[in-house]
Amino acid sequence: MHMADALISPVVGGTMWVVTSGLLMGCARKVKATLDDRLIPMMGVLGAFIFTAQMINFSIPVTGSSGHLGGGLILTILLGPYAAFLVIASVLTVQALMFADGGLLALGCNIFNLGFFPAFIAYPLFYKLIAGNNRIGARAWMAALVAGIIGLQLGAFGVVVETRMSGISELPFKTFVLIMQPIHLAIGIVEGLATAVVVAFVARARPEALDRLSGVKVETDLRAASGTVMGRIGTDRARNSRSVLIYLSVVAVILGGVASWFASTNPDGLEWSIAKVTGKGELAGAKDAVHANLAAVQSKTAILPDYGFKDSQKGKVLPEPAGTPPESIPAGMAGTSVSGLVGGSLTLVLTVLIGLALKARIKP
C-alpha cells in the first residue's frame, strides 16, 4: 500500500506532508514527556523488525495478488500510539529514500495511511475495546483480527480518496474503491493474525511492557514486596527485556536476509487494483516540475532501488546473470539480502537516534 508519486498531485502530496509533519511533532512531544530508557531500544528493534517484515509479500490465493504486513498495529500495541507513529514514519522514510519504495511526494500520504489509522483509530476504538488488558487468549486474538482489518481498510480507503482528490490518474473512484477494499480485507486478516502472534510472544516474555501501556501499576505492586524480591523481579524483567530484543533482532535478520528471497512476486494489493482498473501495471508519471525534481532526488538517494543492486554506471537494477544454476544464489537474491540487512539496520539506527534526540531534550 505504498503509494507512488504518479497517483498524487503536488497539492494533495504537500497537504499530507503538512498534516503528517504536524502529527509527528505532536507524537514527538508526547513520547518525550513519558520517555524512558527501555523504550528506545524497543523502538529501534521493532523498527528493524517491521522493515524486514514488510519485505515478505505473501500470495493471496486465486487473485494473483499479494500483500505484506503494515505493522502499524503491532507497533502501537507494543509501544503505544505516539512512539508507534514515529517508528512507522522512520520505516517508510528509509524505504522511500534508500529503496525507492513509495514516492517522496506521497511519503506524507503513506505515513498517514499506514500509521495514523492503526495507531489512532483501530487501536483505541477497536483493539482496546475488545481486548481490554488481555494480550493472550481468544479476546486478544479477536481484537487483533478486527483492528488489523479495520486499520488496513481505512488505509486502503485513504489511498483511494487521496488519489481521487489528486485528479491526475485515470482511476474512477467507485471502481477503484470496489477493488481496493476487498483485496485489503484479505491482507488485513493476515495483518491481524500476525499481530496476535507477535503480541502474544511479547506478552509472555515481557508482560511489563504491555502492563505499562495498559495502565497497570507495576511499580506499586513491587513496592509492596521486600527489597530482595524487588531486586529479583527487576533482574528477571531486565533479562526478559534483553531476550525479547534479541529474539526480535534475530527474526529481523532472518526475514531480511533469507526469508525475503521467497517473497511473492505477484503485484501487491495496490498495484493489482490499479492493473484491474486500468489494464496497466503502472501509471505514467505526471510531467510537472515537482514530480520530475522529486524523482531525480529519489534516483540519487536510492542506493538499492527495488531492493536490489544497481549498475553504478547506468543506475539500473542488475538482472540475474544468464545461465545461473538454480541451486546457487543469483545476484537478485544477494541484492535482496543486502537490502534487508541494510534497510533494517538503517531503520534501527534512525529510530534510536530519534529516541535519543527526544531524551536529550528532556529538561532535568
DSSP bridge partners of 67: 58
Cα–Cα dist 187/181, whole Å: 10
Cα–Cα dist 97/350, whole Å: 13
Q: How many other CB atoms sit within 10 Å of the CB of residue 220?
A: 8
Grid coordinates of 105: 511526494
Class assignment of domain 5-310+328-360? mainly alpha
Cα–Cα dist 200/84, whole Å: 18
pLDDT tens readout for residues 178-232: 999 999 999 999 999 999 999 998 888 776 666 555 444 444 344 444 454 444 4
pLDDT of residue 329: 54
Stretches in the chain below the pLDDT threshold 50: 214-226, 228-235, 312-315, 317, 319-328
pLDDT of residue 28: 96
* Contact status, residue 296 vs residue 290, Cβ threshold 8 Å: no
DSSP bridge partners of 60: 65
pLDDT of residue 311: 64
CA distances from 291 to 49, 163, 224, 248, 298 (A): 31, 15, 61, 38, 11
Q: Where are the domains of the chain?
A: 5-310+328-360
Cα–Cα dist 255/341, whole Å: 9
Strands (E), 40-148: 58-60, 65-67
Grid coordinates of 97: 529514500
Torsion of CA 73, 74, 76, 80, to 10 degrees: 160
Q: What predicted TM-score, i.e. pTM, was given to this entire model?
A: 0.88
pLDDT tens readout for residues 42-68: 999 999 999 999 999 999 999 999 999
pLDDT of residue 217: 43
pLDDT of residue 238: 56
pLDDT of residue 320: 47
pLDDT of residue 208: 64
pLDDT of residue 136: 87
The H or E element containing residue 232 is: helix 227-257
Number of H helices, E strands in the chain: 15, 2
Grid coordinates of 285: 508519471
